[in-house]
Structure 1
């Protein structure tokens, strides 16, 4: 028997178009992140994009605010279940965290400052999620829905208002997490320019 060495292959790149990008000089973006589309993608200061995160600007512009964290296998700008592509943006405010496997559909969709989009959660096209909300794992926000500030959305559809007043504390935690991620994730913004 011959022993073969297995090498780790880089992720397969998309055959889609390469979007115009506008990056702050202080972002961290993994070499294996996937950016496709025709509309601009803007990422503001100190934000982090994990490996295998997908930013798809085919339907419209994607804007990521300051100190956001986009985890692996999450998708921004996904085309909704209707499959209809209209010019539509995705905008994330500052300090937004999009966790593993979450999807935010294109459609003038807005995620407010300090919001956490949990593991496997889905935000429909045109939804507006307020500031400092928490979308728990596998929760869903319907297309066009408006979620008020400080709302916690559970996967079973239940909701409550978060009255803990911990926004400043959460922002400090995100800043510390970003500091660690910047040292752990090899960044290559030049690849996408």
Structure 2
């Protein structure tokens, strides 16, 4: 076999297997990694990509309806403080967590319709409002509160999103989920 076609071993679970509560309509890749001791709840029609990490050591993870958690992203990362809270991370409905983004646990809330961009980081206890956009490599500080409809750029600049495209974005997210459900082999029973 040539070097270009080498076989990649599957990603294994590291740490305890968390209690889970899944809607019957979710799509979760076999190679997603779920660890921790607190519950992980995923609501209807949400998609968890291969190699996405959901870590519930810092508290409960709740993922709302029609969310998409992309590969190499981490939801529930335990920061340097390492404290456990009742609600580690809560994602509202229609949230997108893009590739390599990280959301720390600690009563952290991401509001409905928000996009956490590629490589962005949301610190412990931050509250990001509804329909916000965190552009690639944006950092939201621990404990920071971001108002609804805020766009944050990686250089720290901010503006309000006044386009009024919430319904269009939600329809686009629903269409993307339909496609992803056909593309990603799902195996929720592996995690239960």
Q: 1:85-124 maps to which residues of 2 (within 5 A)? A: 85-87=83-85, 88-124=87-123
Q: Are residues 6 and 158 of structure 1, via their aligned partners in 2, closer, same or farther at CA, if it must alter by over 3 Å?
A: closer
Deviation at 1:84, TM superposition (A): 2.4
Alignment of 1:23-172 (within 5 A): 23-80=22-79, 82-87=80-85, 88-172=87-171
> How far apart in 1 are the matches of 2:179 and 2:150?
28
Deviation at residue 144 of structure 1 after TM alignment: 0.3
Distance 1:160 1:146 in 2: 15
Q: Pick which of 140-149 and 2-11 moved more.
A: 2-11
Aligned length: 190
Q: CA deviation at 1:79?
A: 1.0
Structure 2 residue ranges without an equivalent (≥5): none
- Could you tell me which residue of structure 2 aligns to residue 7 of structure 1? 7
Tell me the secondary structure at the aligned position of residue 172 of structure 2: helix
**Alpha-carbon offset, residue 89 of structure 1:** 1.4
5+ unaligned residues in a row in structure 1: which ranges?
Answer: none
Instruction: Report the RMSD for the aligned CA atoms in angstroms.
Output: 1.5
- 1:187 corresponds to which residue? 186
TM-score, normalised by the number of residues in structure 2 = 0.95
3-state SS of 1:104 partner = strand
Residue 15 of structure 1 deviates from its aligned partner by: 2.8
Q: Give the Å deviation of 1:10.
A: 1.3
- Render the CA deviation track for 1:67-92: whole Å, top value 9, x for unaligned: 00000000000011x24222251000
How far the C-alpha of 1:134 sits from its partner, in A, is 0.1
